[in-house]
Amino acid sequence: VSQASWPSGTECVAKYNFQGSTEQDLPFCKGDLLTIIGVTKDPNWYKAKNSVGREGMIPANYVQKREGVKSGGKLSLMPWFHGKITREQAERLLYPPETGLFLARESTNYPGDYTLCVSCDGKVEHYRIIYHDGKLSIDEEEYFDNLMQLVEHYTKDADGLCTRLIKPKLMEGTVAAQDEFSRSGWAMNRKDLKLIQTIGKGEFGDVMVGDYRGTKVAVKCIKHDATAQAFLAEASVMTQLRHTNLVQLLGVIVEERGSLFIVTEYMAKVSAVSLNIAVKMCLCPCGSDVCEAMEYLEANNFVHRDLAARNVLVSDDNIAKVSDFGLTKEASSTQDTAKLPVKWTSPEALREKKFSTKSDVWSYGVLLWEIYSFGRVPYPRIPLKEVVPRVEKGYKMEAPDGCPAAVYDLMKQCWTLDPAGRPSFRLLREKLQESVSVCVEVPAGVDRAVPGFL
């Protein structure tokens, strides 16, 4: 273990239990999260603290450094699935023969079905997987919800196949998601997670309050294998980001049966707080908090692509944090525009798929407008289909009632049609901090929590 690679602030996860033998030691259990806070003269020991702030000495070889997962789109829940390949291609991939070596592919003879290809006794057997009424089956006796469940079943028992599935033939260029999250120190144990209450339902799954080893957490539960595959990119991005104003990933659970759990810090939402109190808590500081988060993403070459008030949460201690990294990518990548929110997305991103920090700046201007208008939907009274044509002709939303002139000026700078003319997040933060001393009056008769922070 090299101390040079374990500076103060390094996050690590326990590989084994450690009871400690002196009062200076910090006991921990396998899977506990720890933070290095100092080196010692002995390279085999570090000073560290646990999740509740207790400090002590830990053995370096008992913990694993957490690293960012950078496989991105190469991560796969089904690395043995090769998509549209022919029978002959499958047989070449499974050569030389090795009993139990297997892969799955789309069926060429029966479109919509799959084929399980298994090497056994020197030849390859091809088993048709029938898709019927939303279920998959080989023998029409055992039915499964998805391919992962089917493969899991036959890895444990041949159950009529020529052999049990023993070794997956990975598709070239893919990495098994569970292996990569484990290697980098982000895999959590499902047995340690207790799901308590659903706090949100969406198209792709539920968001729940949970308990992980005594810590209150938020959990995205994605239970369909194809959908879970799409969320792997979000989880991998979150392993690379660490900032006070970003919702922090705590870990990932990949189940063999196709479920994915993304575990993050729990954020108290401003739900039972009236607008009058919410203004004092988070109106001006919120814009600055979000700007600091975006400045961090800017410095690390990440583009959020879905910045909006709905994706900003507020913690117990009233710190605003940016969440929902489903569209976040490195600045050099492209994005399908079909699912983008029109009212928050810059014209060049909608028109030419040109995403950059500057397109995030545009969205930030819209977010500021949401905050200072107390949660109104942007471009009020303008039909959605008319928003983009009017914006491209230079239209800008009017200042919200009571919004300081300096803040509205920042919004308009964010909405400069030429991306090069928009300010950086660093400049925005500096200007916004100069403006937050201005008090904002709550419009008469308004007494509701701010949408987007609920």
List binding-site positions for ATP. 220
Contacts of 188 (CB under 8 A, 6+ apart): 31, 212, 250, 251, 252, 253, 261, 263
Q: Which residue has the tokens 């090497």?
A: 119
Look up residue 192 and give its DSSP letter: G
Amino acid at 167: K
Alpha helices in 307-436 (DSSP H): 347-352, 357-372, 384-392, 405-414, 425-435
Alpha helices in 118-218 (DSSP H): 147-156, 177-183
Contacts of 258 (CB under 8 A, 6+ apart): 77, 145, 146, 147, 148, 149, 223, 224, 225, 228
Angle, in degrees to the nearest 10, between helices 425-435 and 405-414: 170
Beta-ladder partners of 22: none
Torsion over CA: 367, 369, 374, 377 (sign)? negative
Q: 418 an active-site residue?
A: no
Six token digits for residue 351: 């028109």
- For strands 175-176 and 75-76, give the pairing: parallel
Burial class (CB in 10 A: 0-12, 13-18, 19+), 179: middle
Burial class (CB in 10 A: 0-12, 13-18, 19+), 281: middle
Please enumerate, by residue number, every residue annotated as part of a binding site.
Answer: 220
Angle, in degrees to the nearest 10, between helices 357-372 and 405-414: 150
User: Other C-beta atoms within 10 Å of 80: how many?
Assistant: 23
Catalytic residue among 225, 306, 324, 409: 306
Q: Which residue has the tokens 């050099």?
A: 332
Residues annotated as part of the active site: 306
